Amino acid sequence: MENKKQILEGSQAIAAVIRNIRPAVVSAYPITPQTHIVEKLAKLKADGEANYEYVRAESEFAAASIVLGASATGVRTYSATSSQGLLLMTEVVFNIAGMRLPVVMTCANRAVSAPINIWNDHSDVMVVRDAGWIQLFAGDNQEAVDLHILAYKIAEELHLPVMINVDGFVLTHAFEPVIIPSAEIIKKFLPDYIPELGQYLNPENPVTLGAFATPAYYFEARESLHNNLLESLKLIKKEYKNLISILDRKTGGNGLVEYYGPKKPETIIVAMGSVIGTIREAIKNEKNIGVLKIMTYRPFPGDEINKILLPAKNIAVVEKAISLGQAGPLFSEIKAALPNNKLNIKNYIVGLGGRDVTSKMISEIVADAKKKNGKIKFIGKI
């Protein structure tokens, strides 16, 4: 069924495309709602349908360490995690970026404790948004499949890790029509990974990765990582366009953002992830409302966002995360990036801990966005 539309669970679709990308090493520790991805990858290996090395880890910290070590030897790697698992990985996540290793990882987004919650919001990934990884957000399962292919191309060209964020349960456990590109199609876009000498551990050409850095060197290393992340915006746009062309997809996005709606909207709703589908359905009969989907959250595409938002009178930032004691993280960054502080921009927190986001709630947000008070609002409280 490769290269043909079929109905698959989101996790199955992600596992299928990872197999066709052909990493050399896969390592993970199961955690809800990521589990089906790594279960499927393990089964593909056990059934002889994949030839990667599948390493069972005793924890998420160990899984991240295993793919770090494997990537440092110059091979393509993959891992997946969620919520508390990502938090347990945090030290290694920072190390992977600082060592400039092209690791690709899926985060099945889930709320973090306490209280204990296994359902979807974006609390987990926001904890590591400053770790030095490129962070992509999928709006549906077809986009999740395609972004994994893009992630490897970007990671291996720039020597930067990439995290693909897929809403837990909402996408990972949902069955949707998807097309899984064959390994042959993928290879037209993503050739075999052959790192340059000096980028990986090799006894014949000794190098040091993750060296001890005194104040004389640490500053420049962090500046370089920051600048390279910013520079990746151009490559993401370029390679996304190439990928969409090879896969013959129809999309209005450019890999950084995607806008739906009129050229001169009265109100624009900004969001990330699967909630975009609910928003589009809720405003489908509205002529003066646009929707801006953020596909790349790190590096933050401020210039792209500005071009789209400036014609609007009202901006409603809808997000499934809260920077406790401040505001929604997406709201804070959009507000900081906008040069026109006269715009009426408001923040709406929805879906925390998996609370349903309904069309009625979106209609409430649309009506409230026109008001001039700027208080952060939690929408959908019982």
pLDDT digits (tens, 9 = 90+) for 216-253: 999 999 999 999 999 999 999 999 999 999 999 999 99
The CATH number covering residue 141 comes to: 3.40.50.970
pLDDT tens column, 71-95: 999 999 999 999 999 999 999 999 9
What's the CATH number where 287 sits? 3.40.50.920
Place of tokens 């699967």: 274
Burial class (CB within 10 angstroms; exposed 0-12, middle 13-18, buried 19+) of 47: exposed
pLDDT tier, 1 (very low <50, low <70, confident <90, very high otherwise): confident
* Secondary structure of residue 284 in the 3-state scheme: coil
Q: Which residues contact 27 (CB under 8 A, 6 or more apart)?
A: 54, 55, 56, 57, 62, 63, 66, 67, 70, 77, 79
- Average of per-residue pLDDT values in the chain: 96
Q: Is the pTM of this model over 0.95?
A: yes
Task: Classify residue 104: in a domain, yes or no.
Answer: yes
pLDDT at residue 341 in the model:
67
My answer on whether 104 and 125 are in the same domain is yes
Q: Is residue 253 part of a domain?
A: no
Residue 9 has pLDDT above 80, yes or no: yes
Of the residues 211, 227, 247, the one at which a domain ends: 247
Residue 265 lies in a domain: yes
Assess if residue 252 is contained within a domain. no
Residue 299 lies in a domain: yes
State how many domains the chain has: 2
Same domain, yes or no, for 32 and 162? yes
pLDDT, mean of residues 239-268: 96
| pLDDT 10s digits, 312-367 | 999 999 999 999 999 999 999 999 988 876 789 999 999 999 999 999 999 999 99
- Domain co-membership, 237 together with 264: no
Whether 73 and 177 map to the same domain: the answer is yes
129 and 35: one domain?
Answer: yes
- How far apart CA 317 and CA 345 sit, in angstroms, is 7
Q: What is the dihedral of CA 184, 186, 188, 189, to 10 degrees?
A: -170
Give the range of the structural domain holding residue 69, as residue numbers without chain letter: 5-247
Which amino acid appears at position 209 of this protein? L
84 and 199 together in one domain:
yes
pLDDT tens digit sequence for 118-157: 999 999 999 999 999 999 999 999 999 999 999 999 999 9
Q: Residues 160, 278: one domain? A: no
SS3 13: helix
Specify the higher pLDDT residue, 260 or 373: 260
From CA 158, how far away is CA 229, in angstroms rounded? 9
171 within some domain: yes
